[in-house]
Chains A and B, each alone.
Chain A
Amino acid sequence: MELDYKALGLKVGLEIHRQLDTKKLFSPVPSELHEEVDFTFERRLRPTMSELGEIDQAALEEFKKGRVFVYEGNYKYSDLVYMDEEPPHLPDEEALKVALQITYLLNAIPVDEVHFMRKIVIDGSNVSGFQRTAIVGMNGKVDTPWGSVGIPTICLEEDACRIIEQGDRRAIYRLDRLGIPLIEIATTPDIHHPEQAKVVAKFIGDALRATRKVKRGLGTIRQDLNVSIKGGARIEIKGVQELDMIPIIIEREVQRQLNLLRIKEELEKRGAKEEELKEEFYDVTDIFSNTGSKIIARALKKGSKVLAIKLPKFRGLIGFEIQPGRRLGTEMADRAKKYVKGIFHIDELPNYGITQEEVDKVIEKLNLGELDAFVLVAAEEDIAKKALREVLQRAKEAIRGVPEETRRALPDGNTQYMRPLPGKARMYPETDIPPIFISEELKREILENLPEYPQARVERYVKEYGIDKSLAQTLVDDEKDELFEELIAMGVKPSLAASILVVVLKGLKKEVPIENITEEHIKDAFKLFLNNRVAKEAFEEIFKELALHPEKTPLQVAEEKGLTLLSEEEVEKIVEKVVRENIDVVKARGMGAMGMLMGRAMAKLRGKADGKLVSQLVRKKIQEFSS
């Protein structure tokens, strides 16, 4: 039964970041990721001071820890601008034009003059300590069956470095992704239904794809959701990959918040108070000296202790399921994850090798009442205390209700704590770049040349290439349309290209990781086909192997698996052999033997010969041997 989202006061906002397929935003460096590292350098980023003499204390504490950021570069793909060793060049004209196109496609209005700003970010992901960003369009909107949703801003900004390794003393970043232009599209929180969010996301996605200047593939698109319900809290959910998952994630989040509110209510009923959640650590190591729990035993052998804390009034609530497969205890464990691998709590015990006897002893030691709970960890004392402090903090937040936080989308639709909600980032003008005036001529040029909407493209494919509408729809929806047109330009028949891209590839999805198959792989495979090196029946096997071993090339796979086509003479020889082996049937049935013979022949020749050719030859041989 569907929830009454309106009554719940569901508010959802969407934020989409998409990489553009142009040169980098402030220097004409190719926007390519690379794996070869030619050089590295290291930097420290210092927090800046405000006019009032204030330095962000948290940032200063972080800086004092002496954290060093190491950056990996490549001579071909790195430049001084993106090492913060040279002032930025003027912004990439193409990127600006794409941003303007998108502005119009989203029914928004371009600003009269674009002013780039510096947004302070000192986690190391931007070499200069700030990200350059500007508003290009404002006041857009998307119409949906549930009402219209506003798009207040469309921004053009730089992507950040890729994180390669994250540590306490240092982090390693790769420069390749830094500076790739990003379009950021944000909606107002006027989405009131989970399905509406999907519609909005699709509309925005379509507009982006229409420009044909957005990058495709893993990591090129980031979708985040902001979800809140009445009485709940605004939760930022990052990393929503697929369109279909959007409604599920929202539904699960609503569920989670409602369940957390139920827990809050119950805690209130029980008279739970934050003051009762004390930082009193009980050493219960002795109780577990001979425990059957492998985890605890292993920890004790290393010299760790088992510490427990009391959570008054929390019995039964830690184990309360807030999302399928996730409990309040899971949330607590996620907070403690910074320090320990996991926690144990009363609601899930006895289990994992911990006996009822041990549980009772802990209850006794902590002097727990019927409604009280405990959480324990096994770790070196200092670390155990830090972990339990996190648990206490989360317990306090449970009494208050739903904590505001940033969460990570999980593949099953649930979410997991990622970090606290960020504060408003500080921004000031990027004075190295003059404001960019958007002239009437430029606006007219863009308006008069707006690209084809995806739906129009679907219609065009049906009309122009005569392919099935559902195939065309899938090609466009799955962003395979550009690849499709490239294949046609190479000389592949539209129907074949469509069928391979849609039917064959998608069919393999359940068996192998098809995301490992690159567009290069697909194009090379088709090149082999066009050169008569493989038959179209070979595609399936070739792609299957490439998905498992993407480092190989289609040619390698074809040769390894013996999928390369035989010459016509060789095929004829084999067909003749098959016919001779079954000469009785041929004599008996003549052309009626076609089916059986084709079956036998294709068993030997599948992938090595074109089916049509085999059919021709079988027919020929039958005729030869019949007479």
Chain B
Amino acid sequence: MRKVELFMKEKGIEIGDYVEVVEKENGTRVIHRGLVMPPYELSKGETLTVKLDNGYNVGILIDQIVEVRIIEKAKPREEVSFKEVLPKKPGLPNVTIIGTGGTIASKIDYKTGAVHAAFTAEELAKAVPEIFEIANITPRVLFNIMSEDMKPEYWKKMAHEVAKALNSGEDGVIIGHGTDTMGYSAAALSFMLRELEKPVIFVGSQRSSDRPSSDAAMNLICSTRMAVEDFGEVAVVMHGETSDTYCLAHRGTKVRKMHTSRRDAFRSINDVPIAKIWYDGRVEYLREDYRKRGESEVWVDDKLEERVALIKVYPGMNGEIIDFLVDKGYKGIVIEGTGLGHTPNKIIPTIERAVEEGIAVCMTSQCLYGRVNLNVYSTGRKLLKAGVIPCEDMLPETAYVKLIWVLGKTQNLEEVRKMMLTNYAGEITPYTRFDTYLR
């Protein structure tokens, strides 16, 4: 326990108590009055945080506190309950929003400063009323995970939840997701949801939803519009530019988070986005070759092989890493090679060994943009000879997810190759358009 916790225990102080604290600094007595706040997670714990009457927080050095007096104990929090579901409006389509983490809407407790997720229908209707004009919204919290902690077993849960909703009559599904790994999850569901003919829209927010400038609300509104469109694929919908003008719907297998913090971080790589969704409601399709809405029942192909690694090639790389993966029993390795899909020649023998041991080795490029081609240079040809599967213009992250999905069905390298090179969900474009670079 840190000093602050010990101090609070000793004095019988709890979070939310209204206290008067007297500290002595260089002989001067200073009196503070306010509410006791939770100590900051990562601090050394030497200070007591108090919210003064003027609303500001200050930290008071515990060693300098000479008196403390509880004026009023913390009042039990006013429990406000919100309606989970709201009555449906006839004539509107039905959309389920599945929460997996990543807050779409927040509420702020101005008393303590805490920010909490706002996820009941009633709260969403207050925070983003516009979506209730577009569809009857049913929110459902599946789990609450920071997306950096996502894993294949959660993709399975997500896919089943989506299928359940769509097959029970929902017209579309929106999935609220943290932005860090949203691209991976979107790719995963693109492969796992078979015979999908309704929209499955992934949405998140780059700027926290408790701030007035958050991209969350507009992203959610545009996602809802896309979720009721004549469209039947998995897509990611996020801001298209820094202005609050339009969002872009990106095919789930071709989208990547390209910036740590900008609203328009998500870009389609090697492909044209599916549509622009304007704030005023217009949906402007940017291509014609997308799957349209249909009546087929979606089913989940959730056989996954999790022991796959994604590794990046770099100068001076030692082949030990590949050996390590082989020895540890990995079934597949996706390599982010340099340029057209190369590795240092030195490690090619270890790759050969991996393939001999029956491990699927796939090649993508750390350039992200462009198509892999192992025929052009000798290194590439050696890699081909070693048995590497070149992954066309697939994103490394998408190839990683796809390999997990393919290896779940077969570990026969011939079949794996065939499946990796078959276009299931738009992850491979047969030829590259000029206008797909840095857009």
Q: Which stretch (A15-23, A296-304, A428-436, A598-606) binds chain B?
A: A428-436
Interface positions of B from 7 to 25, Cβ below 8 Å from A: 23, 25
Mask of A39-52 contacts with B, CB within 8 angstroms, 1/0: 00111111111111
Contacts of A51 in B (CB 8 A): 80, 107-111, 114, 116
User: Is the CB of A193 closer than 8 A to any CB of chain B?
Assistant: no
A424 in contact with B213 (CB, 8 Å): no
User: Is the CB of A127 closer than 8 A to any CB of chain B?
Assistant: yes
With both chains docked as a complex, state the minimum distance between the C-beta of B399 and any C-beta of chain A, in angstroms. 30
A109 in contact with B30 (CB, 8 Å): yes
Q: Which stretch (B53-61, B291-299, B344-352) binds chain A?
A: B53-61
B40 in contact with A46 (CB, 8 Å): no
Interface positions of B from 109 to 138, Cβ below 8 Å from A: 109-111, 113-116, 118, 122-123, 126-127
Contacts of A153 in B (CB 8 A): 54, 56
A427 in contact with B40 (CB, 8 Å): no
Q: In the assembly, what is the distance between CA of A424 and CA of B118, in Å?
A: 24
B78 in contact with A113 (CB, 8 Å): no
Where chain B touches its partner, the secondary structure class is loop
Chain A, interface residues (CB within 8 Å), range: 35 or more
User: Is the CB of A525 closer than 8 A to any CB of chain B?
Assistant: no
Q: In the assembly, what is the distance between CA of A334 and CA of B136, in Å?
A: 47
A427 and B110 in contact, given A53-B80, A83-B242 (Cβ under 8 angstroms): yes
Q: Which stretch (A129-137, A196-204, A231-239, A344-352) binds chain B?
A: A129-137
Cβ-neighbour of B47 out of A47, A53, A134, A437 (below 8 A): A437
Q: Which stretch (A115-123, A403-411, A554-562) binds chain B?
A: A115-123
Mask of B68-84 contacts with A, CB within 8 angstroms, 1/0: 00000000001010100
Contacts of A111 in B (CB 8 A): 58-60
Contacts of B127 in A (CB 8 A): 49, 55
Contacts of B60 in A (CB 8 A): 111-113
A80 and B107 in contact, given A129-B211, A130-B211 (Cβ under 8 angstroms): no
With both chains docked as a complex, state the minimum distance between the C-beta of A96 and any C-beta of chain B, in angstroms. 14
B59 in contact with A117 (CB, 8 Å): no
B57 in contact with A429 (CB, 8 Å): yes
Q: Nearest CB to that of A42 among chain B residues? A: B243
Contacts of A86 in B (CB 8 A): 260-262
User: Is the CB of A278 closer than 8 A to any CB of chain B?
Assistant: no
B42 in contact with A118 (CB, 8 Å): no
Cβ-neighbour of B59 out of A44, A87, A435 (below 8 A): A435
B110 in contact with A428 (CB, 8 Å): yes
Contacts of B168 in A (CB 8 A): none
Most B-side CB within 10 Å, residue of A80, A111, A112: A112
Cβ-neighbour of A139 out of B30, B42, B213 (below 8 A): B30
With both chains docked as a complex, state the minimum distance between the C-beta of A165 and any C-beta of chain B, in angstroms. 17
A112 in contact with B61 (CB, 8 Å): yes
Q: In the assembly, what is the distance between CA of A55 and CA of B106, in Å?
A: 12
Q: In the assembly, what is the distance between CA of A43 and CA of B245, in Å?
A: 8
User: Is the CB of A128 closer than 8 A to any CB of chain B?
Assistant: yes
Contacts of B243 in A (CB 8 A): 41-43
A434 in contact with B42 (CB, 8 Å): yes
A47 in contact with B212 (CB, 8 Å): yes
With both chains docked as a complex, state the minimum distance between the C-beta of A179 and any C-beta of chain B, in angstroms. 14
A109 and B244 in contact, given A51-B107, A129-B212, A428-B113 (Cβ under 8 angstroms): no
User: Is the CB of A426 closer than 8 A to any CB of chain B?
Assistant: yes
Cβ-neighbour of B115 out of A80, A85, A427, A428 (below 8 A): A428
User: Is the CB of A84 closer than 8 A to any CB of chain B?
Assistant: yes
Q: Nearest CB to that of A139 among chain B residues? A: B30
Q: In the assembly, what is the distance between CA of A195 and CA of B172, in Å?
A: 70
User: Is the CB of B342 closer than 8 A to any CB of chain A?
Assistant: no
With both chains docked as a complex, state the minimum distance between the C-beta of A86 and any C-beta of chain B, in angstroms. 5
Cβ-neighbour of A115 out of B30, B58, B118 (below 8 A): B58
User: Is the CB of A114 closer than 8 A to any CB of chain B?
Assistant: yes
B56 in contact with A127 (CB, 8 Å): no
B212 in contact with A134 (CB, 8 Å): no
Cβ-neighbour of B212 out of A52, A114, A122 (below 8 A): A122
User: Is the CB of A138 closer than 8 A to any CB of chain B?
Assistant: yes
Q: In the assembly, what is the distance between CA of A68 and CA of B23, in Å?
A: 48
Q: In the assembly, what is the distance between CA of A120 and CA of B108, in Å?
A: 11
Contacts of B301 in A (CB 8 A): none
Q: In the assembly, what is the distance between CA of A113 and CA of B46, in Å?
A: 10
Chain B, interface residues (CB within 8 Å), range: 35 or more
Q: In the assembly, what is the distance between CA of A425 and CA of B56, in Å?
A: 11
A435 and B43 in contact, given A115-B58, A122-B212 (Cβ under 8 angstroms): yes
Mask of B210-223 contacts with A, CB within 8 angstroms, 1/0: 11111001100000
With both chains docked as a complex, state the minimum distance between the C-beta of A237 and any C-beta of chain B, in angstroms. 21
Mask of B60-101 contacts with A, CB within 8 angstroms, 1/0: 110010000000000000101010000000000000000000
Q: In the assembly, what is the distance between CA of A254 and CA of B174, in Å?
A: 61
B56 in contact with A434 (CB, 8 Å): no
A55 in contact with B212 (CB, 8 Å): no
Q: Nearest CB to that of B59 among chain A residues? A: A113
Contacts of A84 in B (CB 8 A): 207, 211, 213
Cβ-neighbour of B108 out of A42, A128, A426 (below 8 A): A426
Inter-chain residue pair count (beta carbon < 8 A): 160
A49 in contact with B212 (CB, 8 Å): no
Interface positions of A from 125 to 163, Cβ below 8 Å from B: 127-130, 133-135, 138-139, 153, 155
Q: In the assembly, what is the distance between CA of A85 and CA of B262, in Å?
A: 5
Q: In the assembly, what is the distance between CA of A115 and CA of B56, in Å?
A: 8
Contacts of A113 in B (CB 8 A): 43, 47, 49, 58-61
Mask of A413-453 contacts with B, CB within 8 angstroms, 1/0: 00000000000111111010011010000000000000000
Cβ-neighbour of B244 out of A42, A49, A138 (below 8 A): A42
A50 in contact with B42 (CB, 8 Å): no
A43 in contact with B213 (CB, 8 Å): yes
Contacts of B56 in A (CB 8 A): 115, 117, 133-135, 153, 155, 427
B59 in contact with A426 (CB, 8 Å): no
Q: In the assembly, what is the distance between CA of A47 and CA of B126, in Å?
A: 10
A44 and B211 in contact, given A49-B118, A87-B261, A112-B60 (Cβ under 8 angstroms): no
A55 in contact with B47 (CB, 8 Å): no
A53 in contact with B126 (CB, 8 Å): yes
A48 in contact with B213 (CB, 8 Å): no
Q: Nearest CB to that of B245 among chain A residues? A: A42
User: Is the CB of B263 closer than 8 A to any CB of chain A?
Assistant: yes
A53 in contact with B82 (CB, 8 Å): yes
A115 in contact with B111 (CB, 8 Å): no
Most A-side CB within 10 Å, residue of B44, B122, B262: B262
Q: In the assembly, what is the distance between CA of A138 and CA of B107, in Å?
A: 31
B47 in contact with A50 (CB, 8 Å): no
Contacts of A55 in B (CB 8 A): 126-127
Interface positions of A from 68 to 124, Cβ below 8 Å from B: 68, 80, 83-87, 109, 111-115, 117-120, 122
Contacts of B111 in A (CB 8 A): 51
With both chains docked as a complex, state the minimum distance between the C-beta of B65 and any C-beta of chain A, in angstroms. 10
Sample of 26 A–B contacts (CB below 8 Å): A41-B242, A46-B217, A47-B212, A48-B106, A48-B107, A48-B212, A49-B118, A49-B127, A50-B107, A50-B109, A83-B242, A85-B242, A85-B263, A87-B261, A112-B23, A113-B43, A113-B49, A115-B58, A117-B113, A128-B207, A128-B213, A139-B28, A426-B108, A435-B59, A437-B44, A437-B47
List chain A positions with a Cβ less than 8 A from chain B: 41-53, 55, 68, 80, 83-87, 109, 111-115, 117-120, 122, 127-130, 133-135, 138-139, 153, 155, 424-429, 431, 434-435, 437
List chain B positions with a Cβ less than 8 A from chain A: 23, 25, 28, 30, 37, 40, 42-44, 46-47, 49, 52, 54-61, 64, 78, 80, 82, 105-111, 113-116, 118, 122-123, 126-127, 207, 210-214, 217-218, 241-245, 260-263, 279
In order of increasing CB-CB distance, the 10 nearest A-B pairs are A113-B59, A129-B212, A51-B109, A115-B57, A112-B61, A428-B113, A45-B212, A41-B243, A427-B55, A429-B113
| Given A49-B118, A426-B108, A428-B210, 17 additional A-B pairs, CB 8 A | A43-B244, A45-B213, A49-B127, A51-B111, A84-B213, A111-B59, A111-B60, A112-B58, A112-B64, A113-B47, A114-B58, A114-B59, A115-B58, A117-B113, A155-B56, A437-B46, A437-B59
